[in-house]
Amino acid sequence: MIYEMRIYEALPGKLPALNARFTNATLRLFARHGIVAVGFWTTYIGPSGNTLTYILAWDDLSARQQRWEAFQADPEWQAARAESERDGPLLAQAQSFLMKPTEYSPLQ
């Protein structure tokens, strides 16, 4: 099992729209494509209150590539993204980290 941590820095005032997109479209499409979400967090205390962090679980890199590409190519995702960004982009920056658990990690 590998995990992917994705950190999205929303543009000022756009975090509610980003959260709405996940609630109304992204999570359903993740499920359709077999993408397993471990959890989602917004920054409570830290350098920016405009940050959404989430973790996805993947069986391996091949599964990640196949499922992520299928999700990105899904016409429903493309339409949902375009609709959510009709007044401009939501993200200032996106980062992705692929992580392997240590042998002593409780989350394997």
pLDDT of residue 107: 86
The domain over range 2-99 is classified in CATH as 3.30.70.100: yes
CA count, 13 A, side-chain hemisphere, 38: 15
Q: What per-residue confidence (pLDDT) applies to 98?
A: 98
How far is Cα 61 from Cα 63, in angstroms, rounded to an integer? Answer: 5
CA distance 61 to 25: 24
Q: Where are the domains of the chain?
A: 2-99
**pLDDT string in tens for the chain (108-residue length):** 999 999 999 999 999 999 999 999 999 999 999 999 999 999 999 988 999 999 999 999 999 999 999 999 999 999 999 999 999 999 999 999 999 999 999 988
pTM here is: 0.93
99: its two tokens: 């992580």
